Chains A and B, each alone.
Chain A
């Protein structure tokens, strides 16, 4: 009994406990549940665009297959690897936080942030290539030829409106994903500053855990985007 009283008195002094919770456990449960719910809303948010993509892919197969083939599979593939690796380092960061290893935590957060930036950099190169090729939807859109992975230029004969639809959805989906990456990079930076100031210990690292969940979620979105956009329609022998 005296032990319980002692524990309660100790908890009451925990500077991280907000006044409206009974104890740290309730607080932690609440934030984890909140984070999972938030991720469900994100699934619904991306789900709308995925649904539109699948419907149109079904309707305009030829144009979508050609559009897919025009995407650079090497950039997409490397980025997939980068993101999967960043998920590993993020998981290592959460693990280090749970063990109370502050220096390792900062290290893994920095590596994760760096990998996120590499992804965004490669994405920027891809967008730039698309811009040069006039594959960006709008007034100057034209999809009459494309460069194959072996460097050969080939002619494309598909409906321009349908092709533009593919690229509209490509930019909407990857753009929304990239915005989430940028937000994630901001969150990681905040975490790095917080951990450098010694805000976390083995008993309190909920923000690291929750932002970790967010980071994994953004990765998983890409894990679905990559095959849907780059792989499943590819034409091999043009």
Chain B
């Protein structure tokens, strides 16, 4: 234990040099970093729009921007954050980096397709950014027809095609991961010895592969209808706008689970490592990921409760939506049970995990309000919905993403982040987040509709609280960016396994060599086996 960790002489970062070695790399670790850089850019672009939204809402009369500009702001915030940050966030960065290492493989199954998926992502992102810079889009991220096909005056086709293109990157990543998990596991690494992060990534990949093609064809039809004036969804041509909503949410609701399942996978790793215990009820947690993926495909019409669907189908979808709470609750309870009698250490990643646990619970339970048909009529399209999904997406997924980034940062960079700063930023993000979004629950329940750029003066206090929280949250997001970059040069050398964690990725050097392992690993033990350590502690 007394040996000081040393930084390896040769690793994937200095295996090859120059811009070309990065842009033509087939190494999953480098591709993960390429994704990390690109989605960070999109995160801050989306964040910039959020700042303008919150600034505008400081005053009841919306003094900062016009109503039209405001429509563009929330649309572009949504598009950037959903399609170009949240969907690729954990799978494409941490997933790409960690998955082959965790499986004891040299790479993903199709390294060239992996690189291709990044280029497709960048191309889609560039198209959408171009649409943003040359006038923007104002349809909302949902592209509802007939507004998007016949009436919107903004860059709808370009933005929709950007998302269409980026969708293929998501499909290819999902396809690559499924094949990798099926075919590239190290000897002895059976399905039930896999880390739960791998199970969650697998469930996510299933949704990416099955759902994304449907949004692709839907957006393509919107583009064709708008561009060539052929009728598909517009009632003017005999089309049915509700059909669009069905097809849109057939992807976009499962996509919500693309945006949370990987976070749940990270949670299992964090909770287990920092309480030195195997995850309670491993198989339940593993199968609940698959259950969420399956249920995710049969609840989409709960977005259409007020769109004129039949009351009987609404009842069925309401019931199914309640059913999603079961696997989600299994996970939450099992993480909590894992903590019981664990040797808990409050390191930065664990603070994020605790944040996730609380915020996801609030976000999940408020989701049930909307699954109930009667309550949904009251809170549909209000700030209650906004607050609900931000508790899941930001309070859940972004928390898990940043927590996971801290957890695997020593593996990615070979160096530790500064712990005090890490804890401080976790605290700031937690406080800022709650201050931003909790008032929005109240606003929504009082009747504040989403997507409005003005509001009655009596709601100003709540809106000012929310905007103040957003500024704190902004500081919280900037801090890790600064100190993680700083740590690349000045951070302490991490060593192979700074957390004493199980999992194959911790058995190789940090940063890992170009081909991941010097000797191909063989697995003889169950996942999260801390029994030896515990026995040693009690002797």
- Using CB atoms and an 8 Å cutoff, list the residues of chain A in contact with chain B: 18-20, 26, 29-31, 33-34, 37-38, 40-42, 44-49, 51-52, 55-56, 59-60, 63, 137-139, 159, 161-162, 164-165, 167-169, 171-172
Known contacts A169-B232, A172-B224, A172-B232, A30 near B240 by CB under 8 Å: no
| Contact between B232 and A19, CB atoms less than 8 A apart | no
A51 touches B184 (CB 8 A): no
Q: Does B217 contact A (CB under 8 A)?
A: yes
CB pair A49–B238 under 8 Å, yes or no, is no
Q: A37-B175, A52-B221, A172-B224 are in contact. Are A19 and B212 (CB under 8 A)?
A: no
**Residues of chain B with a CB closer than 8 A to A137's CB:** 228-231
CA distance A63 to B237 in the complex (A): 13
Q: Are A165 and B231 in contact (CB under 8 A)?
A: yes
Q: Which of B70-108 contact A (CB under 8 A)?
A: 105-108
Residues of A with C-beta under 8 A to B212: 41, 44
Give the dominant DSSP class at B's interface: helix
**Which of the residues A26, A37, A55, A56 comes within 8 Å of B209, measured between beta carbons?**
A37
Look across to chain A and name the residue whose beta carbon is closest to the beta carbon of B233: A52
Whether A37 and B179, one on each chain, are in contact in the complex, defined by CB atoms closer than 8 angstroms, is yes
B216–A45 touching, CB < 8 Å? yes
Q: Which of chain B's residues has its CB closest to A37's CB?
A: B175
Interface of A is mostly: helix
Chain B, residues 195-238, CB within 8 Å of chain A (1/0): the string is 00000000000000111111011100100110011111000111
Nearest first, the 6 closest Cβ-Cβ pairs linking A and B are: A161-B238, A45-B213, A48-B217, A137-B230, A44-B213, A20-B106
How many Å from the CB of A22 to the closest CB on chain B? 8
Tell whether B515 is near chain A: CB-to-CB under 8 Å.
yes
Q: Is the CB of B221 within 8 A of A172?
A: yes
Sample (10) of A-B pairs whose CB atoms are under 8 Å apart:
A20-B106, A30-B109, A33-B179, A37-B179, A40-B209, A42-B213, A45-B216, A48-B250, A168-B225, A172-B221
Contact B209 A41 (CB under 8 A): yes
User: Which chain A positions have C-beta within 8 A of B182?
Assistant: 30, 33
Q: Select A49's contact among B178, B179, B221, beta carbons within 8 Å.
A: B221
Q: Is the CB of A52 within 8 A of B238?
A: no
Q: A42 to chain B: which residues have CB within 8 Å?
A: 213
Check if B398 is an interface residue, CB within 8 A of chain A: no
B111 within 8 A of A: yes
B243 at the interface (CB under 8 A from A): yes
A59 proximity list for chain B (CB < 8 A): 240
Interchain CB contact (< 8 A) of A52 among B111, B228, B236, B243: B243
Residue B281 is within 8 A (CB to CB) of chain A in the complex? no
Interface centre among B178, B231, B236 (most CB of A within 10 A): B231
B110 located at the interface, meaning its Cβ lies under 8 Å from any Cβ of chain A in the complex: yes
The one of B111, B175, B240 in contact with A34, judged by C-beta atoms closer than 8 angstroms, is: B175
**Cβ–Cβ < 8 Å partners of B250 in chain A:** 48
- A165 near B179: Cβ-Cβ < 8 Å: no
Which residues between 398 and 428 of chain B lie within 8 Å of chain A, taking CB atoms? none
Question: B237 touching A161 by the CB < 8 A rule?
Answer: yes
Q: Are B237 and A51 in contact (CB under 8 A)?
A: no
Further 8 A-B residue pairs, CB within 8 A, beyond A41-B209, A49-B221? A26-B183, A30-B179, A45-B213, A45-B216, A48-B247, A52-B221, A137-B229, A164-B237
In the assembly, what is the distance between CA of A159 and CA of B236, in Å? Answer: 12
A40 to B213, CA, bound (A): 9
How far is the CB of A119 from the nearest CB of chain B, in Å?
Answer: 22
Distance A41 CA – B213 CA, assembled complex (angstroms): 6
Q: How far is the CB of B211 from chain A (nearest CB, A)?
A: 7
Task: Please give, as numbers and ranges, the residues of chain A lying within 8 Å of B210 by CB-CB distance.
Answer: 40-41, 44
Q: Is B379 an interface residue (CB 8 A)?
A: no
Q: How far is the CB of A36 from chain B (nearest CB, A)?
A: 10
Asked if residues A138 and B230 are in contact (CB atoms below 8 Å), the reply is: yes
A18 to B183, CA, bound (A): 14
- B214, B218, B225, B240: the one contacting A55 at CB < 8 Å is B240
Contact B230 A47 (CB under 8 A): no
B107-134 with Cβ < 8 A to chain A: 107-111, 113
- Near A by CB (< 8 A), chain B positions 133-180 give 171, 175-176, 178-179
User: How far is it, in angstroms, between the C-alpha of A120 and the C-alpha of B187 when the chains are bound?
Assistant: 48
B500 interface contact, C-beta 8 A: no
Q: Is B188 located at the chain interface by the 8 A CB criterion?
A: no
Distance between Cα atoms of A90 and B231 in the complex (Å): 37
- Kindly name the residue among B184, B218, B225, B239 whose own CB sees the greatest number of chain A CB atoms within 10 A: B239
Complex-state Cα separation, A80 to B183, whole angstroms: 37
Contacting residues, chain A, for B237 (C-beta < 8 A): 161, 164-165, 168
**In the complex the two chains form, what is the Cα distance from A169 to B239 in whole Å?**
11
CB contact between B238 and one of A18, A48, A159, A172 (< 8 Å): that residue? A159
Minimal Cβ-Cβ distance residue in A for B236:
A161
Interface centre among A19, A26, A44, A45 (most CB of B within 10 A): A44
A20 lies within 8 A of B230 (CB): no
- Residues of chain A within 8 A (CB-CB) of B230 are 137-138, 164, 167-168, 171-172
CA distance in complex: A32, B190 (Å): 21
Across the interface, name the chain B residue whose C-beta is closest to A25.
B183
Task: Tell me which residues across on chain A come within 8 A of B225, comparing CB atoms.
Answer: 168
Q: A19-B106, A41-B171, A56-B240 are in contact. Are A51 and B232 (CB under 8 A)?
A: no
Q: Which residues of B contact A164 (CB under 8 A)?
A: 230-231, 237-238
The docked-state distance in angstroms from the alpha carbon of A18 to that of B236 is: 55
**Are A33 and B183 neighbours in the complex by a CB distance under 8 Å?**
yes
